[in-house]
Copies of this chain bind each other. A is one copy, B any other.
């Protein structure tokens, strides 16, 4: 897609609609449904703390046996932290959403839990096939997030 194409996508996907629909009801998703929705998309955002500040990066993922497998940049701030603490892991949140800019219908899912580097060579080889990095050849590290908390909402029309 050209830059103009991206800008067009911005306007049509997320731009303000000519006539805004009324406010949407927020319905909590049960964890199984939330994980199913997360597994159906490939882009999300990993949320962590860096130098005592909140940080967020868009990355791509797959869901395997209830764990979220994420491909991230080996030099990224997150990876440095995960490498430093080792097996203990660090607590991160991971979010994905699909919300229609015109109808304001959609959903958002957040999972929270310990995030650890994947170091087993068989796992690494397997997941490298499943979750290809989007940006740069340097995007070379896989992490596994085991969700301890799973929450989600669906934005729906009036009952």
Residues of A bordering B, CB below 8 Å: 1, 5-7, 9-11, 13-16, 20, 23-26, 37, 40-43, 45, 47-49, 53-58, 91-93, 95-108, 110, 112, 132-137, 139, 153, 155
Contacts and interface: CB of A to CB of B under 8 A. Distances in A.
A53 to B, nearest CB: 6
A134 B57 CA distance: 24
A6 B106 contact: yes
Contacts of A16: 42
Contacts of A6: 98, 100, 105-107
Closest 7 CB pairs of A and B: A14-B41, A54-B93, A47-B54, A1-B103, A56-B95, A58-B108, A26-B135
A28 B57 CA distance: 13
Contacts of A98: 6, 9-10, 13-14
A23 B135 contact: yes
22 contacts: A1-B103, A5-B105, A6-B100, A6-B107, A10-B37, A10-B98, A15-B42, A16-B42, A25-B136, A42-B101, A45-B56, A47-B55, A49-B49, A49-B54, A53-B112, A54-B54, A54-B91, A54-B93, A56-B56, A57-B108, A58-B95, A104-B135
